[in-house]
Chain A
Amino acid sequence: MTATALTLPAEKPGWRGRVDILSAALGAVMVLLALAAVPAPLIAPYDPTATDILAANSGPSPTHWLGADDLGRDVLSRLLYGARLSLLGPTLIIATATVLGTALGIASAWLGGWFDAVTSRILDFFFAFPGLLLSVLAVAMIGTGFLAPVTALALAYTPYIARVTRTIAVRERNLAYVEALRSHGLGGWAICLRHLAPAVWPVIRAQSAIAFGSALVDLAAVSYLGLGVQPPSAEWGLMVAQGQSALLGGAPWQSLSAGVLIIFVVLAVNTIGERTGNTDTAGARA
């Protein structure tokens, strides 16, 4: 056999393994939901704050597809508008936590020493507080609204990402190839950005997806407690809370539909995160 005959055809990097149908389907629904949330003013059948007192606490009907709340506001319209805040919140939280957590985790792993020690203790401190408690503290300091709980939850979720990142990055950093890169004169930035970050990314992606679900629930809980977004703004957690009295009075539509959406989104991101995480690690081990 000649040397050329031994040469394998170059492998194109592409889909590793099969596409997961369940993840793809859930992902598609999530995308649709996000696509409906952004142009809510265009698709929503009613103004989310317009009241129709005659329709108050009514069930699903041709005029109000998901009924109306105690003030006669259209539930479907409020859900669509609510999706903006309810999805934007966790997105901001997780984006901040992922960027900050990954950066801190990799920096800790790379620099080690006192930086690692100090960062790890600070992260432990935030890790010790439940996200909800931090949010309540932030609201007490800054006041109710969107910003306070989002900031607090971003800080609360950073340690989750940072710890996982640090563990993987430490393992990766101790591999012989990193030493070889250093011996070639490559700087710390280049190694961290081009080698360590891609190595931690698959796990962080899965971790972030799962954290997105928790952040959404936490944010909804803050709103439910009346500490987050204030009425008359539409937000899913707030809608669950506002629908409570109507729920007891036999008109469950508002609380129920907002609650179902929260549960669906959380289950969907958890499932996607877990399944893509599994295929990634399976691919890496193979």
Chain B
Amino acid sequence: MNAPTEEQPLLDIADLRIDLRDGRTVLHDVSYAVRPGDSLGLVGESGSGKSMSLKAVLRMLPAGARTAGGISFDGRSVTAMNLSELRAFRAGQVAMIPQDPRTAANPVRTIGDFLTEVLVRSRGVARRQAAEQAIRQLAEVGIPDGEQRLRQHPHQLSGGLLQRVMIAAALAAEPRLLLADEPTTALDVTTQQEVMAILDEQRHRHRLAMVLVTHDLDLAAAVTDRIAVMYAGTIVELALSEGLHRTAQHPYTAGLLRSRPAVGTRARPVSLPGRSLSAFEAGTGCVFADRCAFAEERCRSVRPRLEAHGTHLVACHRVAELTAAGSLLETTP
């Protein structure tokens, strides 16, 4: 394995397309790259394909799903790996942080068993050493009494504590890429902050790359370098996180931003008209055309490609005229 240079992305996804066994498309024309130490937020509504693209990286799609396009990790194709390479990849290179920590550990096993199982099974670490390592890892994520925790069962821990255990488990393998699937959705708001702070700190300390899936644009903007906004199974806008809330160029991103409630202002959030579509429901045109206030004839017939516009990548035919008229966030059609 060659050492990744700054130019070479750690995770490179090119024109990824996923069709389920029944022929429904859940993801299409998705391309993104994450360099070592970089973080990318995948933001979108339920059914937009965010989680699917993470599962595709681990090759954990539902049975019968077909993948087209390239997924490569550190220059190696993930889709071409054989079973043992895939296991080694999952065990040592990439770690997943689950959405709901309460369901992510076997309820009848102890935390210690959960944290040491992979070390003992797939890396051949001695049981005692694995336990010591687990205690150190728990301390690293802010759980000081690791020795007692190892003997407890998942139901004896709070959601936030359990999510820290999940982070510790993810870091145990010393991975290079973290995949976080809405890691704070199942937690209280105050706990969310704590968990995100720990995740962010660990990520920086170990210089890990991360793909964070979330429906919370503000959260993604706070902890990631770049954000890819997904709609109906594809990326509609990809831009630097910083300032995205001011410079959104795609009408969907602007709509998402307008529809979140803002603390401190009395302005009503504006919801997007219509319901969010899945990839297989989108027609031949722009996936967002049905709900877009700016849609015109060609938007409904020709699908726009994700193209550079200024510093952003945007998939919109009318991006030039819309942004020329001023910030999309204030424009009312």
Residue ID in chain B nearest A184 by CB atoms: B118
Q: Chain B 54-77, CB within 8 Å of chain A: the 1/0 string?
A: 000010100100000000000000
Q: A10-B148, A180-B98 are in contact. Are A185 and B103 (CB under 8 A)?
A: no
Please give me the residue from chain B that is nearest to A7 by CB atom. Answer: B148
Decide yes or no whether A54 CB sits under 8 A from chain B: no
**CB <8 Å contact, A184 and B151:** no
Binds A, one of B9-17, B83-91, B132-140, B238-246: B83-91
A175 CA to B148 CA in the complex, in Å?
26
Q: Hey, which chain B residues are within 8 Å of A187, CB to CB?
A: 87, 121-122
Q: Given the known inter-chain contacts A10-B152, A180-B96, A180-B98, please indicate yes or no for A186 contacting B117, CB distance below 8 A.
A: yes
CA distance A46 to B106 in the complex (A): 56
Residues A198 and B108 in contact, CB atoms below 8 Å apart = yes
B104 contacts A112, CB within 8 Å?
no
> Which residues of B lie under 8 Å from residue A10 when comparing CB positions?
148, 151-152
Quick check: is A61 within 8 A (CB to CB) of the other chain? no
Residues of B within 8 A of A11 (CB): 151-153
| Interface hub of A182, A183, A187 (most chain B Cβ within 10 A) | A183
Q: A4-B145, A7-B148 are in contact. Are A176 and B118 (CB under 8 A)?
A: no
Q: Does B100 contact A (CB under 8 A)?
A: yes
A199 to B108, CA, bound (A): 9
Are A184 and B173 interface neighbours, CB within 8 A?
yes
Q: Are A182 and B60 in contact (CB-based, < 8 A)?
A: yes
Bound Cα distance from A183 to B180, whole angstroms: 12
B60 touches A194 (CB 8 A): no
**In the assembly, what is the distance between CA of A276 and CA of B266, in Å?**
62
Number of A-B contacts (CB under 8 A): 76
Q: Within the complex, what minimum Cβ distance (angstroms) separates B161 from chain A?
A: 10
Complex CA–CA separation, A185 to B118 (angstroms): 7
Could you say which of B88, B98, B108 contacts A185, with CB atoms under 8 Å apart?
A: B88
Task: Give B304 Cβ to nearest chain A Cβ, in Å.
Answer: 34
Interface residues of A in 1-57 (CB under 8 A from B): 3-4, 7-8, 10-11
**Chain B residues near A182 (CB-CB < 8 A):** 58, 60, 90
Q: Within the complex, what minimum Cβ distance (angstroms) separates B250 from chain A?
A: 31
**Shortest Cβ distance from A197 into chain B, in angstroms?**
12
Q: How far is the CB of A8 from chain B (nearest CB, A)?
A: 6
| B283 interfacial by beta-carbon distance below 8 Å | no
A3-B145, A176-B100, A177-B105 in contact; A184/B91 too (CB < 8 A)? Answer: yes
- Residues 127-157 of B at the A interface (beta carbon under 8 Å): 144-145, 148, 151-153, 156
Q: Which residues of A contact B117 (CB under 8 A)?
A: 181, 184, 186, 190, 194
**At the interface, yes or no: B255 with Cβ under 8 Å from chain A?**
no
Q: Name the residue on A nearest B113 (C-beta).
A: A194
- Would you call B144 and A180 a contact (CB within 8 A)? no
The minimal Cβ–Cβ distance linking B208 to chain A, given in whole angstroms, is 16
Interface residues as binary, B89-125 with A (CB distance below 8 Å gives 1, 0 otherwise): 1111001101010011111110000000110011000
Which of B104, B109, B169 lies in contact with A176, CB distance below 8 A?
B104
**Beyond A4-B145, A7-B145, A8-B152, is A186–B63 a contact (Cβ under 8 Å)?**
no
List chain B residues, Cβ under 8 A from A194.
117
On whether the beta carbons of A185 and B89 are closer than 8 Å, the reply is: yes
Chain A residues within an 8 Å CB radius of B90: 182-185
Please determine whether B169 and A183 come into contact, CB atoms closer than 8 angstroms: no
Interchain CA distance A198-B108 in the complex, whole Å: 10
Alpha-carbon separation in the docked complex, A199 to B106 (Å): 10
Residues of A within 8 A of B108 (CB): 198-199
Q: Given the complex, which residues of A lie within 8 Å of B88, measured CB to CB?
A: 185
A243 CB to nearest chain B CB (Å): 50
B60, A190: Cβ atoms under 8 Å? no
Assess whether A175 is in contact with B103, with CB atoms less than 8 Å apart: yes
CB contacts (< 8 Å) of B118 on chain A: these are 181, 184-186
Given A8-B156, A185-B88, A177 and B104 contact (CB-CB distance below 8 Å): yes
Min CB distance, A3 to chain B, in Å? 7
Which residues of A sit under 8 angstroms from B105, Cβ to Cβ? 177, 180
The residues of B that contact A3 with a CB separation of less than 8 Å are 144-145
**Interfacial residues, chain B to chain A (CB-CB below 8 A):** 58, 60, 63, 87-92, 95-96, 98, 100, 103-109, 117-118, 121-122, 144-145, 148, 151-153, 156, 169, 173
Contact sample, A vs B, 11 pairs, CB 8 Å cutoff: A7-B148, A10-B148, A10-B151, A11-B153, A175-B103, A180-B96, A183-B96, A185-B91, A186-B117, A190-B122, A199-B108
Instruction: Across the A-B interface, give the 5 residue pairs with the lowest CB-CB distance, nearest first.
Output: A185-B91, A185-B90, A10-B151, A176-B103, A183-B96
- Could you list 9 further interchain pairs (A-B, Cβ under 8 angstroms) beyond the known A181-B117, A185-B92? A3-B144, A10-B148, A176-B98, A176-B100, A177-B103, A184-B96, A185-B88, A186-B122, A190-B121
